Structure 1
Amino acid sequence: MPVSLFELFARTLDVTLPVFAMVFIGLGLKRLGWIDRAFVSTASALVFKATLPTLIFLSLIKADLAVALDIPLLVFFALATLCQCALSWVWASFRIPREERGVYVQGAFRGNCGVVGLALAAGMYGNDGLSAGSLLLGVVIVTYNVLSVVVLAMYQPGQATDWRSLLWKIVTNPLIIAVVAALPFTAWSVALPRWLMTSGDYFASLTLPLALICIGATLSVSSLRDSQQVALSASVMKMVILPVLATGAARLMGFSGQSLGLLFLFFASPTAAASFVMVKAIGGNVALAANIIAITTLMASVTVTVGVFALRLLGWI
């Protein structure tokens, strides 16, 4: 029996609304004063250093590596990310003031795949989405960090790029460590004790709601009132232009179904909060970076929903 447009849209909302509802709950809790900056800082560190690596590790050791390890998918994502960075860089070279180009380019291509992308993948594809998305995160972390450092360093004449420090940060990234640690367990089907798996599941289940609440709590409505044209331009590039181009290219390359859906969700994720940290570290325009993060996060609730609905309507995913 054919699925009506209403049913199709309702199924799409079933995937996207739970994720973005948690973001807006975080915004509401912050405005009510029930959570504060100290809570957000501590909770974010807990997610990054402990609960998210646990979630990634457990999702991978439960996975069938023959299914989750999709080499063409990983390679395409890395190449597409490189092309997205290059395209936004070329555009910025002609339209954006030099002193803001580095922040613009990073904001336009660097997505929040580790939280929003992974949450959407889990909502749409369950454990299979988590497993494939977790492996994809390994590529995400390396490409995003390297490209961000390069583009920011290019427009900070007084700053030298410390490649040794960058490499050390990548090697010691808890998310990459979780992916690498899980691979032997998955490849050789090593089973962990049942009690340990259950405890790990309890701990890992904190990740997505806690991380999404923290994202909502860091949104600044006042900063949106002061949003600049550059921030709006970067946000449209990040949430509309690049996801459409990258997903279209993926379709032309033969990706479909779950693979295409995962690629779209990762491409369409809002700008990562880590981009703000990197801009602050080099003394860049932190207000611009914060505005891009806030605008893209709010836009995502609409653009991701519309995108998933359109792809399902076309029968591509």
Structure 2
Amino acid sequence: MDLISLFQQTLETTLPVFAMVFIGLGLQRVGWIDDVFVHTASALVFKATLPTLVFLSIVKADLDTSLNFNLLTFYFVATLGSFALAWLWARWRVAREDRGVYVQGAFRGNCGIVGLALAANMYGDFGLSAGGILLGVVILSYNALSVIVLAAYQPGQSPEWQRIGRDILRNPLILSVFAAIPVAWLNLELPDWVMTSGDYFASLTLPLALLCIGATVSFSALRSDSSTALSSALMKMVFLPALCTGAAWATGFSGPELGLLFLFFASPTAAASFVMAKALGGNDRLAANIIAITTLMASVTITLGVFVLRGAGLI
């Protein structure tokens, strides 16, 4: 396959996802969708349609392929490593009061929407099922590590660990994974009408979620803290994905597994980082800047990353 054909194939994978993000941005700018729509749609996705999508993808999957403990373990270790590197860099280069927000922005990716959407587009059912199981590790590790680093630099704010633990265990995505694995493991067959209705409902997830991501990007938020935000964004979108993907390849991952790891590592900063920064007294304006910059960068950095990895025959 020549380079032009390979690049076109790469665009066919990534463009549909990022086109929806930019459509959401455009619809918000012309006033066709507003904050009320984004709030309602985001809640619907988080509480209902995304858990349904994850549940059905795992139920339909071959668990021998999708439930890969080596993949889960590597992602967890790589997340810890990314967190530690971002924190070390922040201690050296970032003002003390902004370190917690900087670190969270640099390691916490939007795997549940952007990563999963790209995985589904690139690898179909395997991407959805393996990615859905991987989300369990993502949710647990990202939330715990974010609280640790934010609390470290906001001494007046004490995290309520019991409430945070309860929220994680009640997370609809975690519950959907826990519910789906025994159903898939025991080969239980759900009625056809349940599966068909579930597919209809789950199909709302990615379009709605991607539109909401686009609608929340704020250009006005980019006017301040630009250098610190850009540094965190470059770490999130360039340095850490390259380092972690290289480590995964060196460890022996290849094909769809390596591709899935790259897409999760390379996802832009999660919108939830703004909510947590605000709740723990961090610089929420800086958090918003990082989210906006990484979301805009993602269409370029992820496309180039997939192109390079495919060109090298690794994924």
TM over 0.5: yes
Q: Over residues 64-97 of structure 1, what are the superposed CA-to-partner deviations in whole Å (9 max), with x where a residue is unaligned? A: 1111001000000000000000000000001000
Q: Aligned equivalents of 1:113 and 1:119: distance in 2?
A: 9
Q: Over residues 103-128 of structure 1, what are the superposed CA-to-partner deviations in whole Å (9 max), with x where a residue is unaligned? A: 00000000000000000000000011
Report the equivalent of 1:194: 192
Q: Aligned equivalents of 1:228 and 1:16: distance in 2?
A: 27
1:136 paired with 2:113, answer: no
Q: Choose from 8, 17, 23 the match for 1:19.
A: 17
The answer as to whether partners of 2:22 and 2:214 remain within 8 angstroms in 1 is yes
Q: Aligned equivalents of 1:163 and 1:224: distance in 2?
A: 32
Report the equivalent of 1:99: 97
Report the equivalent of 1:290: 288
Q: Over residues 100-155 of structure 1, what are the superposed CA-to-partner deviations in whole Å (9 max), with x where a residue is unaligned? A: 00000000000000000000000000011100000000000000000000000100
Report the equivalent of 1:112: 110
Q: Over residues 233-282 of structure 1, what are the superposed CA-to-partner deviations in whole Å (9 max), with x where a residue is unaligned? A: 00000000000000000010000000000000000000000000001111
| Amino acid paired to 1:87 | L
Q: Name the Cα RMSD after superposition.
A: 0.7
Gaps of 5+ in 2: none
Deviation at 1:184, TM superposition (A): 1.0
Q: Aligned equivalents of 1:160 and 1:224: distance in 2?
A: 29
Instruction: Calculate percent identity across the aligned residue pairs.
Output: 68
Q: Aligned equivalents of 1:303 and 1:225: distance in 2?
A: 22
Please list, as runs of the form range in 1=range in 2, the aligned pairs for 1:241-252 lying within 5 A after superposition. 241-252=239-250
| Amino acid paired to 1:101 | R
Please list, as runs of the form range in 1=range in 2, the aligned pairs for 1:1-317 lying within 5 A after superposition. 3-317=1-315
Q: Over residues 20-58 of structure 1, what are the superposed CA-to-partner deviations in whole Å (9 max), with x where a residue is unaligned? A: 000000000001110000000000000000000000000
Q: Aligned equivalents of 2:126 and 2:159: distance in 1?
A: 38
Deviation at 1:159, TM superposition (A): 1.5
Gaps of 5+ in 1: none
Relative to the length of structure 1, the TM-score reads 0.98
3-state DSSP of counterpart to 2:297: helix
| Amino acid paired to 1:56 | V
Deviation at 1:226, TM superposition (A): 3.2
3-state DSSP of counterpart to 1:35: coil
